Amino acid sequence: MGDHFTGVSKMVWIGSSTKRKVRDWKLDRYACYLIAQNGDSKKIEIAMAQTYFAVQTRKQEIFQQLDQNQKRLFIRGEVKIHNNKLFDTAKKAGVSNFGRFNNYGYLGLYELTASEIRKKKKIGQDDILDRAGSTELAANLFRITQTDGKINKENIIGENLANATHFKVGRKVRNVIREIGGTMPENLPPEKHIKALKKNSQKRIR
């Protein structure tokens, strides 16, 4: 349990321009879940947290029921949403060359530039993520969301620092894949273009 509740300390103002060190706690996601589920739902913060975890649990249940093509469509949609969010964050951080910024993320995760990835996978000029399977998309989604969070949390300013951050996060995701014995993203085979899946999905709905 100690892995989820980490004791930390912080400095707080106590008046007369004086600070004092007080004990605090750093909670991971599981710790927040435990507190939310066992808290008093009459308190608005607890009620909101319980609602959040209930929604996330339901989303996960629905996701598990999807077939591989549906999962791929779902993750590709999430990637698009969060990539737009990342680019907005990068713009605020001072990035003007978004192609270069994107390449740093790919270099970290794939150890290849976007053009080199396309050449290796033999996908012509297709968007790399439109030809990626669900596993490859999930790795990129993690790269994207974690880069966005890091730039915001650390208030990173400057194009070079933003590029370096994107590269570092991509490299960390790659290292995790290596540690768990996964297939490196550049070695995953390309899939049918995502547009073809959307057409098939729309035909089934009709």
pLDDT band with cut points at 50, 70 and 90 for residue 114: very high
Would you state the pLDDT for residue 60?
63
Instruction: Report the C-alpha dihedral over residues 172, 53, 56, 82, rounded to 10 degrees.
Output: -50
Mean pLDDT of 67-72: 77
> What's the confidence (pLDDT) of residue 185?
95
- Spatial neighbors of 168 by CB under 8 A, at least 6 apart, are 108
CA neighbor of 120 nearest in space, from 197, 25, 201, 187: 187
Distance between CA atoms of 74 and 94, rounded to whole angstroms? 31
Residue 63 has pLDDT above 90, yes or no: no
CA distance 136 to 182: 11
- Average pLDDT across the chain, whole number: 83
Give the SS3 label for residue 15. strand
The better pLDDT of the pair 45, 137 is held by 137
Q: What is the pTM of this model?
A: 0.68
Q: Identify which has the larger pLDDT, 190 or 17.
A: 190
Highest-pLDDT range among 4-13, 59-68, 194-203: 194-203
pLDDT digits (tens, 9 = 90+) for 73-97: 888 999 999 999 999 999 999 999 9
DSSP 158: S
Please give the pLDDT value at position 61: 62
Token digits for 203?
């035909």
- Of 150, 135, 149, 127, residue with least CA distance to 80: 127
pLDDT at 15: 65
Phi then psi dihedrals of residue 193, to 5 deg: -55, 140
Query: Would you put residue 122 in left (φ > 0), alpha (ψ -120 to 50) or beta?
Result: left
Model confidence pLDDT, tens digit, residues 145-200: 999 999 999 999 999 999 999 999 999 999 999 988 999 999 999 999 998 877 76
